[in-house]
Amino acid sequence: MFVRRYRTPTVWREMERLQREMNRLYDAFSPRRYRTAPGYPAMNVWMAEDKLVVTSEVPGVAPKDIDVSVVNDTLTLSGERAPDAVEAGAQYHRSERGSGKFSRSLQLPYGVDANKVEATFKNGLLRIILPRKEEDKPRKIKVKS
Amino acid sequence: MSDQEKSLEVQKEEVALEEGAEWARDRRVFLPRSDIYETSDHIMAVVDIPGAREEDIHVTLEKNVLTINAYVEADHMEGYSLAYAEYEVGDYQRSFRLPDEIDRDKIEATYRDGVLRLRLPKAEGAKMRKIAIHTD
């Protein structure tokens, strides 16, 4: 008896795999679109009408070694990640964690009140809350009839 | 040591899954950047897992394989929209096969500022012994 085997041809399977891979890639870039940070550290900016929250992952940097400064609508993050104090004679198997000084500026979507900026640092995550400048807030204009 | 001159990097590397497999959690999973070094009596593993809370870090040692799992809460903020994004938040996972037997009872783990440090003392039998060579 002749038994017919229903097997997807390899090419099709390969196409399917490609399609899945493409979908995964699209998922990765939407709805959020990620850009490559031009320098360290990478930052995310969350925006509400009257407040911005900037977050950044800076593991291993002591809070005292991070400098946050704001001038008008420009935020500057600078600091230093110190290299580990390693015992003499230690042999490295793997060294991926960088160290050194960093400094980066980011233009914010609107001007912020530098006096009211707050920053917290927890578990290697820096979070900066920047309230919008009073004079920069949008004004509602009433339409008269 | 020239290794320590490594510069800071911004890109995260994602864990590659086998074909057909998917993560149970609907999150991306990254390979945490790590340093591993060894001295005569212990191995140190230093792992960057920013954003993970202490209680969400799971470290296991099975045979000689050290596995680090860290779950990170989603960064979604109610009432805010993500206006500009350069990094993605996700979990961390990584395994290392250790070169020596480890004294499991004496492993020390500390977590500070997003960096996990594991001190893995070598078991007595695994410590290097210098063997003297005699000549007749």
pLDDT of residue A29: 57
The encoded tokens of residue B26 equal: 């609907």
Q: Which parts of chain A have pLDDT scores under 50?
A: none
pLDDT tens, N- to C-terminus, chain B (136 residues): 444 457 777 778 888 877 777 777 777 899 999 999 998 889 999 999 999 999 999 999 988 899 999 999 888 888 998 888 889 899 999 999 987 788 888 899 999 999 999 999 988 876 666 677 888 7
Give the Cα-Cα-Cα angle A65, A66, A70 (nearest 5 degrees). Answer: 145
| Residues in contact with A34: Cβ distance below 8 Å, sequence separation at least 6, in sequence order | A28, B85, B86, B87, B88
Question: pTM of the predicted model, to two decimals?
Answer: 0.77
| Residues in contact with A48: Cβ distance below 8 Å, sequence separation at least 6, in sequence order | B79, B80, B81
pLDDT of residue A1: 54
- What is the rounded CA–CA span in Å between residue B102 and residue B123? 5
- Closest partner residue to B33 (CB to CB) among A90, A96, A100 is A96
pLDDT of residue A47: 92
- What is the rounded CA–CA span in Å between residue B101 and residue B2? 28
Token pair 């809460």: residue: B73
Check CB contact under 8 Å for A39 and B53: no
How close B136 comes to chain A (CA, Å)?
Answer: 33
Indicate the CATH number of A37-84+99-135 among 2.40.50.140, 2.60.40.790, 3.50.50.100, 3.30.565.10.
Answer: 2.60.40.790
The encoded tokens of residue B32 equal: 């945490």
The encoded tokens of residue B73 equal: 């809460």
Q: Is B106 on the interface with A (CB under 8 A)?
A: no
Check CB contact under 8 Å for A124 and B10: no
Chain B residues near residue A39 by CB distance under 8 angstroms: 10
pLDDT of residue B24: 75
Phi, psi of A76 (to 5 degrees): -120, 130
Q: Three-state SS string across chain B, please? A: CHHHHCCCCCCCEECCCCCCCCCCCCCCEEECCEEEEECCCEEEEEEECCCCCHHHEEEEEECCEEEEEECCCCCCCCCCEEEEECCCCCEEEEEEECCCCECHHHCEEEEECCEEEEEEEECHHHCCCCCCCCCC
The encoded tokens of residue A49 equal: 């009408």
Token pair 């470290």: residue: B59
Q: Best mutation site among A57, A73, A101, A102 for testing chain B: the one with the most B CBs within 10 Å?
A: A57
Q: How many other CB atoms sit within 10 Å of the CB of residue A140?
A: 6
How close B135 comes to chain A (CA, Å)?
Answer: 30
Check CB contact under 8 Å for A124 and B87: no
Q: Best mutation site among B29, B87, B112, B119 for testing chain A: the one with the most A CBs within 10 Å?
A: B87
3-class secondary structure, A67: strand
Chain B residues near residue A33 by CB distance under 8 angstroms: 85
3-class secondary structure, A62: coil
B66: nearest Cα among B17, B110, B102, B22 = B102
Burial (CB count <10 Å: 0-12, 13-18, 19+), residue A81: buried
